[in-house]
């Protein structure tokens, strides 16, 4: 997988942007932002994705770490959903 990511830098950049945007939306966004601030956040995400792309290019497993982070966030959401459904059944 790492070889493919190094051979396709554009798609690696897109994957990094999508994963960072998901992490931002799921974890850090507390309230709706005005349109310009929202656009600024995504411009900064796109810019700093280039930094992470550089780290990925020199051999650090950035994409793999982001995939693991997203997977852990999904597992936490599933766990919370199961807990809520159990409390509704018990309550």
- pLDDT at residue 89, rounded to an integer: 81
* Low-confidence spans in the chain with pLDDT less than 50: none
Q: Indicate the pTM of the whole model.
A: 0.85
- pLDDT at residue 30, rounded to an integer: 77
Question: Any idea where the domains of the chain sit in the sequence?
Answer: 2-90
Question: Within a 10 A sphere around the Cβ of 34, how many other Cβ atoms?
Answer: 8
- pLDDT at residue 48, rounded to an integer: 96
Task: Determine contact, residues 58/6, Cβ cutoff 8 Å.
Answer: no
């Amino acid at each position: 997988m790492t070889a493919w990511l190094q051979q396709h830098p554009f798609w690696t950049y897109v994957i990094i942007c999508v994963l960072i945007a998901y992490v931002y939306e799921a974890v850090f966004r507390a309230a709706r932002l005005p349109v310009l601030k929202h656009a600024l956040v995504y411009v900064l995400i796109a810019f700093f994705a280039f930094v992470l792309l550089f780290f990925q290019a020199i051999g650090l497993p950035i994409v793999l770490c982001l995939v693991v982070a997203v997977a852990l966030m999904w597992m936490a959401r599933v766990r919370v959903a199961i807990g809520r459904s159990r409390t509704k059944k018990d309550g």
